[in-house]
Copies of this chain bind each other. A is one copy, B any other.
Amino acid sequence: MNIDSLLSLFAAPLALTWQKAVMIAIGLVLIYLAIAKDYEPVLLLPIGFGAILANLPLTGITESHGFLGVLFEAGVANELFPLLIFIGIGAMTDFGPLMENPQLALLGAAGQFGIYSTFMLVLLLDKLPFISFSLAEAASIGIIGAIDGPTAIYVGNKLAPHMLGAIAVAAYSYMSLVPIIQPPVMRALTSDTERRVRMPYSQREISKTARVVFPIVVIIVVSLLSPQASPLIATLMLGNLMREAGVVDRLRFAAEGEIANVTTLFLGLAIGGTMKGEEFLQVETLIVMALGLLAFILDTFGGVMFGKLMYRLSGGKVNPLIGAAGISAFPMAARIVQRLGQEYDYDNFLLMHAMGANTAGQLGSVIAGGVFLTIMLGIV
C-alpha cells in the first residue's frame, strides 16, 4: 500500500500525455495573446486558462462535480451564459446611427456571406478522402462567419457541442485580428474613387418612442420569421429596451455590469474546459481554425461587394467601404472603415454610417444564426 500511494504522487506527471502538454501550451499562447497582444482579453484569458486546467491530469476539474464541470452545466449546456451576455451587449448598443439610415440594414445581411460560403466549403471538403464533416458540423463551422461570439457559441452548442471549444477560440481569436484581416480585402475590392466617396451626415433625430418601440418590433418580426433566433434576438433587444426605456437603469447597469462581467468570466472558463487534448488535437480542429479565418474574409467580401452594389444603385452616394462594417465585430469594424476612409481623404468622416452598418451587422449575425439554426434543426 505504501509504495502504491507514494507512486500516486507521481501519477499526474505520468498521466501527462503529449496531447495534454500541447493543449497546455495552446492555453499559454491564448493567455499570451490576451495579455501581450490585447486580443479580446476578457474572453481569451479565461478560455486559455480553462484549457490549461482541463489538461492538467487527474484533477477531475471538468467532471460533472468539478469546478469547470459545474460552470459548464450552469450556463453553457443550457446556453444561459451567451444569452445573458447578449443582454449586456444590447444594453451597450446604440441603434441610433442605423435608424438614421435604415437602408444600411441590408449591409448587415450581406456581411453574413461568410456563413454560407464557409458552410458550403466544408461540405466540399467532406467529399475529400480522410476528411469527414456532418451537415451539423459544417453548419457549426460556418457560423463562425457570424463573427459574433455568443451567436457562434449558442448555435454551435445546439448543432455540434463537441466542437464548441474550437468554434469559440476561432470566433474570439479572429475577432481580434479584424484590424489585420479586413483592410487588404477592402483595398483589393474597391477603386480609389469609391473609397473617397463622402456621405453626408443625416441630421435626423430619433424620438425616444421610436427607439423604445424598435427593439420590441425587431423581436416580434424576427421571432415569427425564425423561432430559433428568438432567444438570441430577444436577449439582445431586452438589453437595448432597458437602455432606451430610461426607467430601469438599475437593471440596465446590472446587465452591462455584474451580469456581463461575471458571465463572461464563467463562460470563458467553461469553454476552455471543453478543450481536452485527446478530442481537440485532430485535423478537424485545424480545418475549423483555417476555415474560420476564411469565413472572416468571405464576410468582408460579402459586405464590401454589397457596398459596391449600393454605390452603383445610389449613383455613387454610398461609400462601399462601409460594407465591411456589416460583418458585425462591433465596434472594431466600424473604426477600421473610418480609418481606411481617412487614409484616402483626411476629411472624410464615415464613422456614423459605419456604426449604422455595424449595428446592422450585429442584427444580421443574430438573425442569420437563428435562421440557419431553424432550418438546420428542421433537416438534421
Contacts and interface: CB of A to CB of B under 8 A. Distances in A.
Contacts of A265: 251, 254-255, 259
A316 interface: no
A290 interface: no
A216 B52 contact: yes
Query: How often does this chain occur in the complex, in copies?
Result: 3
A210 to B, nearest CB: 13
Interface stretch (A92-100, A134-142, A234-242): A234-242
Interface of A: 1, 4-5, 8-9, 11-13, 16, 24, 28, 31, 34-35, 38, 41-42, 45-46, 49, 52-53, 56-61, 65-67, 70, 78-80, 83, 212, 216, 219-220, 223-228, 230-231, 234-235, 238, 241-242, 245-248, 250-251, 253-255, 258-259, 261-262, 264-265, 269, 374-375, 378-379
Contact of A41 (B234, B245, B262): B245
A220 B216 CA distance: 47
Nearest to A41: B247
B248 A58 contact: no
25 contacts: A5-B375, A5-B378, A8-B378, A9-B226, A12-B227, A28-B216, A35-B245, A35-B247, A38-B247, A41-B248, A42-B247, A45-B248, A49-B241, A53-B219, A53-B223, A56-B219, A57-B224, A58-B227, A59-B223, A60-B227, A65-B78, A66-B231, A67-B231, A251-B264, A258-B261
Contacts of A42: 247-248, 250-251
Nearest to A35: B245
A212 B235 CA distance: 36
Contacts of A234: 49, 53, 61, 67
Given A53-B234, A56-B227, A259-B262, A45 B374 contact: no
A218 to B, nearest CB: 12
B56 A241 contact: no
A245 B59 contact: no
A238 B270 CA distance: 14
B261 A250 contact: yes
Nearest to A255: B265
Contacts of A5: 375, 378-379
Contact of A238 (B49, B223, B226, B258): B49
Contact of A61 (B45, B212, B226, B231): B231
A379 B42 CA distance: 41
Contacts of A49: 234, 238, 241
Nearest to A268: B251
A57 to B, nearest CB: 7
A45 B226 CA distance: 24
Nearest to A87: B265
A253 B83 CA distance: 22
B212 A374 contact: no
B8 A241 contact: no
A46 B251 contact: yes
A16 B224 contact: yes
Contact of A262 (B220, B258, B378): B258
B53 A212 contact: no
